[in-house]
Amino acid sequence: MEDNQPQEKPVTQMETQSPVMEKILPAIHIKMDNQKQVTSGTTQDKATCNRCGIISSKEFSFFYGNTCGVKNISMDIYPCMVTAIIGPSGCGKSTFLRSINRMNDLIPHTRAKGRLEVNGINVYDKRTNLVNLRQQVGMVFQKPNPFAKSIFDNVAYGPRLQGIRKKSDLESLVEQCLKDAAIWDEVKDNLNKSALALSGGQQQRLCIARALATRPKLLLMDEPCSALDPLATTRIEDLIEQLKKFYTIVIVTHNMQQAARVSEWTAFFCLGELIEYDKTTRLFTKPGKKQTEDYITGRFG
Amino acid sequence: MESSGTPNHMIDLSSSAAEFNRPLLLTPGEDLKGYILGHVGRWSLFTITSASVLAVLLIFIFVIREALPFLTQFSLTEFLTSTRWYPEGTPHEFGALALISGSLYVTLGALILAVPLGLSAAVFLSDIAPFKVQQICKPIIEILAAIPSVAYGFFAILVLAPWMQKNLHFSTGANTLNAAVILAIMALPTIISVAEDSLSAIGRDIREASYGLGATRAETMLKVVIPEAHSGIIAAVILGMMRAIGETMVVWMASGNATQIPSPWWDLSQSVRTMTATIAGDMGETPKGSDHYHALYAIGFLLLIFTFSLNLVSEYFLSRVRKAKGR
Ligand SMILES: Nc1ncnc2c1ncn2[C@@H]1O[C@H](COP(=O)(O)OP(=O)(O)OP(=O)(O)O)[C@@H](O)[C@H]1O
Ligand SMILES: [Mg+2]
């Protein structure tokens, strides 16, 4: 607990810096409305940044039965930026990420404490509209989990739920999403093939395409590149670069270089606690904590 | 730990890493032992398996042999299309259509009641009920499948029949509806537990994928989970159907045993007689070797074909479930 106090410093610093932030970031306005609109390709969303985080966690803890997944996480995740979460295995990265769109609900005997706000709404409020939350907070899971349907139907699943029925709309949307996820060239000739017949890495990219197809405002990616080759990884990183113009992205990764490459902010978790949260450049060059330094240098050699 | 370490538990790095210290080839003794054990195991298991397969095959052959005199002497078309079943009349008449339709009536009636109920219960147990309820309900349902059918028969006669006469004003309590209801109750545990198993076999990750894209629970079940579990669900329905079509004691007690096709066809308050009940009822008082006796075997043969083909279909779907699990 006491360890935690100083770490919040960067966050508070951040908040005082907010006028600067506003200069850095284009003055735009995040719109998290319930409209089920899907405009293909170049979304003309005027995505922008509120002063405080689009995701704001306050003393958030999550429990699996009696074991603690994460405890006392307080951090703000800023819109239109990529935030990386790093940390050793089992430290609660997935737990935290999956709490943001309430994906842990399906696991029996789990319990959340504290506040976890998305766009100012505590998602663990009883009145949360889970459908709208999850439609706008997309997720790519740690393990690829395609449906036993065709490639096309996998990607079209989300848009269809939103009521898009017109074949031509669906086709162009699916094509765009598959292209964005760097898998179009491999599957364009057999979109009707079962998604289960793809390789693990292809399935993962399909899942990325599927998540993009709901046009989320916020994208949670749990080690999206762990099963991918360097080329596909580069393409996914390029995609992240593209997407952050309009979307907020939170990415869990074990690859330090990737975190350094793609993210503006980095959070370091250890044993369920947030150890340090800072601008990526600062965290990787001048980590404020011994633990962070050990972890980063341990990997960099 | 590693620096202070316990040397005898650690891999001895002083002997070159390239040297395997356990021989990769079997010694002659090991080879022989493996050979003998392998063959003894294989042959004893093969004998046991073939004995049980042979027993089933023998029953099949016996039924065919006893049915053959009838099938050669009497017209098969009359057997399958006539409703006149007068085995002891002069001349004998063996039209089994009413019996076949009786079996179909009660079986399909039972399915129409049991399938929607059973599937809803399976969906409830696998996805909606709290964990505790699941843990309690599943074993109870499996126990229900083990209640002897006579007990269900008593329930049909003593509870359901008077209730139907009193509240639905049926002329007889032992009728098609009664048999269908009681068969549905009997088939339910099978349908619920097999369908629930196949729904639970669809992993949580698939459900998460669907919820994560903004699907409601109903959409997730209808568009993802049930389609992916469809093989198991079909198998569940067929297993329930086999339970119903092969059931004897209960229909004997509940159906009223009148050799007729209800007319109008939807009037379930009339009595029917099933193939199984006919065999069980007539076999005791039929002289061995008579035409009637062989006719009963012909009915048995027909029943065997029904259940056998249902079994094949359910095997096909269950094997697809197994394949899907191993993906
Ligand atoms: N379904 C679950 N049931 C019970 N405990 C769980 C469950 N999932 C995770 N945990 C526990 O929560 C803690 C955090 O797990 P989590 O999956 O968030 O780790 P992680 O940081 O994502 O690790 P990795 O990098 O290996 O994916 C672990 O100690 C784990 O044992
Ligand atoms: Mg994880």
Residue B115 lies in a domain: yes
Please report the atom of ligand 1 found closest to the CA of residue A88.
25
Q: Which residues of chain A approach chain B closer than 8 Å at the C-beta?
A: 101, 103, 106-109, 130-132, 134-135, 138-139, 141, 143, 145-149, 157-158, 161-162, 196, 207, 210-211, 213-214
Whether A106 and B207 lie within 8 Å, measured CB to CB: yes
Query: Smallest Cβ distance to A141: which of B209, B224, B227?
Result: B209
Is A97 in contact with A252 (CB distance < 8 Å)? yes
Q: At residue B266, what are phi and psi to the nearest 5 degrees? A: -95, 5
CA–CA gap between residue B72 and residue B88 (Å, rounded): 19
Counting every residue, how long is chain B?
Answer: 327
Q: What is the pLDDT of residues A148-206, one digit of tens each?
A: 999 999 999 999 999 999 999 999 999 999 998 889 999 999 899 999 999 888 998 99
Strands of the sheet with A55-64, listed across from one edge: A67-77, A55-64, A110-118, A121-122
CA–CA gap between residue B268 and residue B174 (Å, rounded): 11
CA–CA gap between residue A173 and residue B293 (Å, rounded): 70
Contacts of B279 by beta carbon, 8 Å cutoff, 6+ apart: B248, B296, B299, B300, B303
- Considering the domain architecture, whether residues B106 and B64 belong to the same structural domain is answered as no
Name residues of chain A where pLDDT drops below 50. Answer: 1-50, 299-301
Is B244 in contact with B107 (CB distance < 8 Å)? yes
Is A255 in contact with A73 (CB distance < 8 Å)? no
Is A277 in contact with A269 (CB distance < 8 Å)? no
Please report the DSSP string for A70-127 in residue order: EEEEEEEE-TTSEEEEE-STTSSHHHHHHHHTTGGGGSTTEEEEEEEEETTEETTSTT
Query: Smallest Cβ distance to B212: which of A101, A132, A143?
Result: A101
Residue B90 lies in a domain: no
B326 vs A: CB within 8 A: no
- Considering the domain architecture, whether residues B174 and B67 belong to the same structural domain is answered as no
Q: What is the pLDDT of residues B193-221, one digit of tens each?
A: 999 999 999 989 999 999 999 999 999 99
What is the domain extent for residue B125?
Answer: 97-325
Is A101 in contact with B212 (CB distance < 8 Å)? yes
| pLDDT the model gives residue B15 | 58
Counting every residue, how long is chain A?
Answer: 301
Which residues in chain B have their CB less than 8 angstroms from residue A195's CB?
none
- Considering the domain architecture, whether residues B213 and B281 belong to the same structural domain is answered as yes
Residue whose pair of structure tokens reads 């309590």 in the numeric block: B173
Q: How far is B209 from chain A (nearest CA, A)?
A: 7
DSSP B8: G
User: Model-level pTM?
Assistant: 0.78
- Considering the domain architecture, whether residues B139 and B105 belong to the same structural domain is answered as yes
Residue B163 lies in a domain: yes
B125, B131, B208: best to mutate for the A interface, most A CBs within 10 A? B208
In chain A the first and final C-alpha atoms are separated, in Å, by 30
Please report the atom of ligand 1 found closest to the CA of residue A91.
21
- Among chain A residues, CA nearest to B223: A157
DSSP B15: S
CA–CA gap between residue A217 and residue A47 (Å, rounded): 9
Global ipTM: 0.79
Which residues in chain A have their CB less than 8 angstroms from residue B209's CB?
141, 145-147, 207, 210
| pLDDT the model gives residue B13 | 56
Whether B215 and A131 lie within 8 Å, measured CB to CB: yes
Whether B204 and A147 lie within 8 Å, measured CB to CB: no
CA of A147 to the centre of ligand 2 (A): 21
- Among chain B residues, CA nearest to A207: B209
Domains and CATH numbers, chain A: 33-296 (3.40.50.300)
| pLDDT the model gives residue A23 | 33
Angle at B191 (CA atoms; ends B189, B193), nearest 5 degrees:
65
Residue B80 lies in a domain: no
CA–CA gap between residue A87 and residue A252 (Å, rounded): 9
B213, B320, B323: best to mutate for the A interface, most A CBs within 10 A? B213
Contacts of B294 by beta carbon, 8 Å cutoff, 6+ apart: B66, B67, B68, B69, B70, B73
Q: How far is A197 from chain B (nearest CA, A)?
A: 10
Is A218 in contact with A248 (CB distance < 8 Å)? yes
Q: Tens place of pLDDT for every residue, chain B, 327 residues?
A: 444 444 555 555 555 666 788 888 888 888 899 999 999 999 999 999 999 999 989 999 999 999 999 988 888 888 888 888 888 888 888 889 999 999 999 999 999 999 999 999 999 999 998 888 989 999 999 888 888 888 999 999 999 999 999 998 888 889 999 999 999 999 999 999 999 999 999 989 999 999 999 999 999 999 999 999 988 899 899 889 988 998 998 999 999 888 888 888 888 889 999 999 999 988 888 888 888 999 999 999 999 998 888 888 888 888 877 776 554
CA–CA gap between residue B8 and residue B1 (Å, rounded): 14
Ligand 1 binding residues, C-beta < 6 A: A 64, 67, 69, 87, 89-95, 107, 142
CA–CA gap between residue B310 and residue A286 (Å, rounded): 71
- The CATH number of whichever domain residue B113 belongs to comes to 1.10.3720.10
- Considering the domain architecture, whether residues B67 and B101 belong to the same structural domain is answered as no
For A276-296, b/e burial (b = at least 16 CB within 10 A) is: bbbebeebbeebbbebbbebb
B 207-266: CB under 8 A from A:
207-216, 219, 223-224, 227-228
Query: Smallest Cβ distance to B209: which of A131, A147, A161?
Result: A147
Residue B276 lies in a domain: yes
Is A85 in contact with A285 (CB distance < 8 Å)? no
Peptide bond into A159 cis (omega under 30): no
Find the helix or strand (DSSP H, E) in which B188 lies.
Answer: helix B176-200
- Considering the domain architecture, whether residues B69 and B117 belong to the same structural domain is answered as no
Beta partners for B85?
B94
Please report the atom of ligand 1 found closest to the CA of residue A95.
18
Task: Taking the CA atoms of B302, B308, B309 and B311 in sequence, report the sign of the dihedral they define.
Answer: positive
| pLDDT the model gives residue B8 | 52
- Considering the domain architecture, whether residues B216 and B313 belong to the same structural domain is answered as yes
Residue B286 lies in a domain: yes
Q: How many CB atoms lie within 10 A of CB B277?
A: 26
Residue B198 lies in a domain: yes
- Considering the domain architecture, whether residues B68 and B108 belong to the same structural domain is answered as no
Residue B161 lies in a domain: yes
CA–CA gap between residue A256 and residue A258 (Å, rounded): 5
Which residues in chain B have their CB less than 8 angstroms from residue A149's CB?
227
Angle at A37 (CA atoms; ends A263, A49), nearest 5 degrees:
35
- Considering the domain architecture, whether residues B111 and B60 belong to the same structural domain is answered as no
Is B125 in contact with B146 (CB distance < 8 Å)? no
CA of B218 to the centre of ligand 2 (A): 28
Residue whose pair of structure tokens reads 């538990």 in the numeric block: B9
Query: Smallest Cβ distance to B208: which of A145, A196, A213?
Result: A145
Q: How far is A72 from chain B (nearest CA, A)?
A: 25
SS3 B323: helix
SS3 A238: helix
Is B180 in contact with B109 (CB distance < 8 Å)? yes
Q: Count of alpha carbons within 13 Å of B291, Cβ hemisphere only? A: 16
Number of domains in chain B: 2
- Considering the domain architecture, whether residues B119 and B243 belong to the same structural domain is answered as yes
- Considering the domain architecture, whether residues B269 and B321 belong to the same structural domain is answered as yes
Torsion of CA A54, A248, B205, A102, to 10 degrees: 10
Q: How many CB atoms lie within 10 A of CB B16?
A: 6
Q: Starting from the CA of residue A141, give the closest ligand.
A: 2
- Considering the domain architecture, whether residues B67 and B114 belong to the same structural domain is answered as no
| pLDDT the model gives residue B142 | 87
Q: What is the pLDDT of residues B239-258, one digit of tens each?
A: 899 889 989 989 999 998 88
